[in-house]
């Protein structure tokens, strides 16, 4: 069980978990918080449950990459 709860060094999408951090005071709930580094180099505190359930996979750059890709695809489809 303790191994399950230790996310250090694990990868979730683009996140690599660096270390456990105390819960930020402005956050509610009992989740564990982790300092994670995205592949793009950004570091951020991420709620453990989001990582484990795959609901956080990057700092946001993954989504903007996808949006950019779909824009490019649309432009190609229009023949521009």
List residues near Zn ion by CB under 5 A: 38, 40, 42, 58-59, 61
Which one, 18 or 61, has the nearer CB to Zn ion? 61
Shortest approach of Zn ion to residue 65 CB, angstroms? 9
Shortest approach of Zn ion to residue 50 CB, angstroms? 15
Contact 13, 62 (CB under 8 A): yes
Shortest approach of Zn ion to residue 67 CB, angstroms? 14
CA 18 to chain centre: 12
Contact 17, 7 (CB under 8 A): yes
Which one, 35 or 61, has the nearer CB to Zn ion? 61
Enter the DSSP assignment of 10. -
């Amino acid at each position: 069980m303790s191994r399950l709860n230790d996310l250090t060094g694990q990868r979730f999408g683009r996140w690599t978990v660096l270390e456990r951090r105390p819960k930020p005071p402005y956050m509610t709930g009992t989740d564990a918080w982790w300092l994670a580094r995205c592949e793009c180099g950004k570091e951020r505190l991420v709620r453990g449950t989001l990582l484990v359930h795959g609901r956080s996979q990057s700092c946001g750059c993954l989504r903007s990459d996808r949006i950019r890709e779909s824009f490019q695809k649309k432009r190609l489809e229009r023949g521009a």
